Structure 1
Amino acid sequence: MNHPHPMREDDVTLFVNARQTVTCAGPARARRGAEMGDADVRSGVGVAVQGDRIVAVAADEALRRRFPNATEIDCGQGVLAPGFVDSHTHTVFGRARYEEHELRATGVPYLEIARRGGGIHASVRDLRARSDDDLFARAVPRLQALAAGGVTTVEIKSGYGLTVQDELRTLRVIARLASIGPLNVVATCLGAHEVPLEYRDRPDGRAAWLDCLSDELYPAVAVEQLARFADVFCEPGVFTVPETRRLLESARRHGMALKLHADELHDGGAAVLAADMGATSADHLAAISPEGVAALAASSTVATLLPATMLFLGTGRQAPARAMIESGCAIAVATDLNPGTSPLQSFPLVLTLAVSQLRLSAAEAWIAGTVNGAAALGLAGVTGQLREGFRADIAVHATDDFRALPYWFGERLCQVAWAGGRACHTSA
């Protein structure tokens, strides 16, 4: 990389003395097939940071020779790695939904709970009654908890407002969270999370809500530039494939890239639609069909799997990750942090589930949580790798082997995390 001005050595920070360095270095795109098995784990390698960028990745002594006046961060013979990219969360919400957890334990299915006014609708009622300041204050410690597990980039969806004004104010809360840093926050408009209950009582309610999303919400989001993505819950009983196509086409006209909640509980053809429309990601996919797998494998769409959700719902099944990788799909993993189906704030536990439930190798799980998570947000050229020119999103874990993170499930091993060259977590 060419530096147009001389680099000041006194404002460079070196991460050195790592037992292993998981660089995940390689192409600045989603990894597929056998590529997912190579996390490029090295020994004796450190990272130099200046400002918000990585300026060198090399042997420790080479870095010290190049930057003799640099500040050093001692990795303590731990694992030096890219920060995790949590590419699917619903972090802005009010109260927990403990009662639904018990209902599911008695055999009441998720969609039946929703039909009774629970599920998403319970969180909608709750969010509408809360102030922006309250929602913000509740979200901040959730982001801190994610950072404590090594997350440096997080996507946050709206979707618990389900009116134009409540969706917009949720997105404004997300923008406020992004503004305080240091985590890198990506906003997604999920106004199409459900049909609001008040619209269901109207003869024309469903069509009216689709019109409201297309003609009012998306234009308003575009005017304020509140979201990078639009997402639709495309699932039998929620939004159909034709409805989803219409909404996504409208969102695209208003400058948003596309995501889908796809084939989570039943195969409804959402994965095929995601591939056909060039969506950045299709998420969930526990009920994906062979046709859906083939479509994603032949597309640029990242398949974001959420194993904690299926575990928490007690479904006894997961997305067919091994078949998807072998077919050539690009797999990412994320927490799906939300109050009803995945109240999870530990990204390392997602790695555990990726190995034990999805049957990924440790290296594949790391790629799914870094490089491919970045690709699921359109950021594959920005973050997810320890590589010169990439954003300084870095974590240090107190273990001597990268495989320990999925192995010691529930352990808090992250000691230091930096997002964009700024500390977002220290264990001390």
Structure 2
Amino acid sequence: MRVFTNARLATMDPALPGLGVVEHGMVAEQAGRIVYAGPVRALPADEVVDCAGRWITPGLIDCHTHLIYAGNRAAEFEARLDGASYEEIARQGGGILGTMSATRAASPAALEAAARHRLAPLLAEGVTTVEVKSGYGLAPEAEYKCLTVARALGDVADISPTFLGAHSVPPDMPRADYLRLVCEEMIPHVARHGLADAVDAFCETIAFSPEEIAQVFAAAAAHGLRVKLHADQLSNLHGAALAGRFNALSADHLEYTDEDGVRAMAQSGTVAVLLPGAFFTLRETRLPPIEALRRHGVRMAVSTDLNPGTSPLFSLLLAMNMAATQFRLTITECLLGVTRHAAAALGRADVGVLRQGAKCHLAIWDIEHPAELVYRMGFNPLYQRIWSVS
């Protein structure tokens, strides 16, 4: 048994108020699992780690990333600065479709090397669990390639792959044919070979309609896969309500979500994943309905949305700061948003919390108070990241 003692804990345990703080605490782990987290007590130990009064949180969770892609879209960033909109760039063959061409052409080895390079800054900030979406292949073999690369990253982090075949319609296939391919060939293959833990889709005027998303979600359910949704980012197509109807794990973005959508999410237990990096990069002005989400008791997660176009953000600590300053989340909401609530957005109960039975994913910090993790920008106070492969 290994014991981390002389520590202050932010356990995120729902049985405790707020962040679940234990001022004089310890964490004990055996075989990669937490066997005790709480006030200091005498336990037999093979190894004792003196944390010298440092804070321990669960390892952080980035629950919405598009980590696997080739190329970059710096030219589109410049075009947006010159006044082009996200929708205009997408309709001219840029955006997702621009990344598609580079991703299809890249070898698995090249995609993996690039993904590991992008993943490194997250790990250096104490991230131990990462959701990784496909969605830049938009063809069967290219999508499977991306998901296989995502699984390969499991030697350095706890990876949760998500199939995002319904990200956009590829230019080389009629819309109805591609949708049928996603539902009748790709989702069954992904489920059969265990390539992903969930299915995501992009519900927007430049992507897929609610009716089309419903077909994708029905296919996912038929093959035992949970669902997530890019919802109401640029317009209100009632994506949040659709996510609620299908008991989605999460609905993400949500800038245009209305009260009915929030109510549907509350009823289904769907987590709201807030993505301030995209809000910032696209210079949006319409805020997600934070007060309505609070009022209806919807859990809120915070993520980087790391992607090549609309959120080239490689810092979950900065994402928390953005969520606090732009969306007015509290310190507690931000920290729960990258731990326990982020875990819920992935359908996980074994990460994001310090309690018996959870994986021993820890972040040990050189800080005086957890608020420092949200308050600072461009400063990384991580002392040590503990990650268990079990």
Q: TM-score, normalised by structure 1?
A: 0.88
Q: Which of 291, 298, 302 pairs up with 1:329?
A: 298
Secondary structure, aligned partner of 1:208: helix
Amino acid corresponding to residue 52 of structure 2 in structure 1:
G
Is 1:57–1:386's contact at 8 Å kept on the other side of the alignment? yes
Q: Which of 2, 9, 33 pairs up with 1:21?
A: 9
Amino acid corresponding to residue 156 of structure 1 in structure 2:
V
- Confirm whether residue 391 of structure 1 aligns to residue 365 of structure 2: no
Is 1:182–1:420's contact at 8 Å kept on the other side of the alignment? no
Give me the whole-angstrom Cα distance separating, in 2, the residues matched to 1:185 and 1:54: 19
* CA deviation vs aligned residue, 1:20-44 (integer Å, no higher than 9, x gap): 31011125xxxxxxx9x71112211
Q: Which of 380, 383, 387 pairs up with 1:419?
A: 387
Report the equivalent of 1:183: 157
How far apart are residue 98 of structure 1 and its match? 0.8
* 1:237/1:96 CA distance change after superposition, 3 Å: closer
- Confirm whether residue 368 of structure 1 aligns to residue 337 of structure 2: yes
Amino acid corresponding to residue 267 of structure 2 in structure 1:
A
Report the equivalent of 2:36: 56
Is 1:49–1:421's contact at 8 Å kept on the other side of the alignment? no
Report the equivalent of 1:224: 193
Is 1:320–1:358's contact at 8 Å kept on the other side of the alignment? no
Amino acid corresponding to residue 170 of structure 2 in structure 1:
P
- Confirm whether residue 103 of structure 1 aligns to residue 79 of structure 2: yes
Secondary structure, aligned partner of 2:327: coil
How far apart are residue 326 of structure 1 and its match? 2.0
* Aligned residue runs from structure 1 range 1-16, under 5 A: 12-16=1-5
Give me the whole-angstrom Cα distance separating, in 1, the residues matched to 2:223 and 2:284: 37
Amino acid corresponding to residue 14 of structure 2 in structure 1:
G
Report the equivalent of 2:265: 296
Give me the whole-angstrom Cα distance separating, in 2, the residues matched to 1:359 and 1:74: 36
How far apart are residue 186 of structure 1 and its match? 0.5
Report the equivalent of 1:8: none
Q: Which of 20, 38, 48 pairs up with 1:40?
A: 20
Q: Which of 16, 26, 43 pairs up with 1:66?
A: 43
Report the equivalent of 1:271: 240
* Aligned residue runs from structure 1 range 126-137, under 5 A: 126-137=102-113
Is 1:77–1:400's contact at 8 Å kept on the other side of the alignment? no
- Confirm whether residue 355 of structure 1 aligns to residue 344 of structure 2: no
Consecutive unaligned residues of structure 1, counting only runs of 5 or more, are 1-11, 28-34, 200-204, 423-428
* CA deviation vs aligned residue, 1:179-232 (integer Å, no higher than 9, x gap): xx2310011000000000122xxxxx1111111111111121122110110111
Taking only the aligned residue pairs, the percentage that are identical comes to: 38
Is 1:119–1:340's contact at 8 Å kept on the other side of the alignment? yes
Is 2:258–2:289's contact at 8 Å kept on the other side of the alignment? no
* Aligned residue runs from structure 1 range 187-266, under 5 A: 187-199=161-173, 205-266=174-235
Give me the whole-angstrom Cα distance separating, in 1, the residues matched to 2:381 and 2:72: 26
Give me the whole-angstrom Cα distance separating, in 2, the residues matched to 1:338 and 1:73: 37
Report the equivalent of 2:376: 408
Secondary structure, aligned partner of 1:389: coil
Moved over 4 A (4+): none
Amino acid corresponding to residue 246 of structure 1 in structure 2:
Q
Give me the whole-angstrom Cα distance separating, in 2, the residues matched to 1:408 and 1:15: 26
Consecutive unaligned residues of structure 2, counting only runs of 5 or more, are none
Number of equivalenced pairs: 390
How far apart are residue 421 of structure 1 and its match? 6.3
Is 1:393–1:421's contact at 8 Å kept on the other side of the alignment? no
- Confirm whether residue 338 of structure 1 aligns to residue 307 of structure 2: yes
Amino acid corresponding to residue 408 of structure 1 in structure 2:
R
* CA deviation vs aligned residue, 1:98-133 (integer Å, no higher than 9, x gap): 111111111111011011111101110110111000
Secondary structure, aligned partner of 1:267: coil
Secondary structure, aligned partner of 1:215: helix
Greater relative contact order, per chain length (Cα 8 Å cut-off, separation 6+): 1
* 1:100/1:228 CA distance change after superposition, 3 Å: same
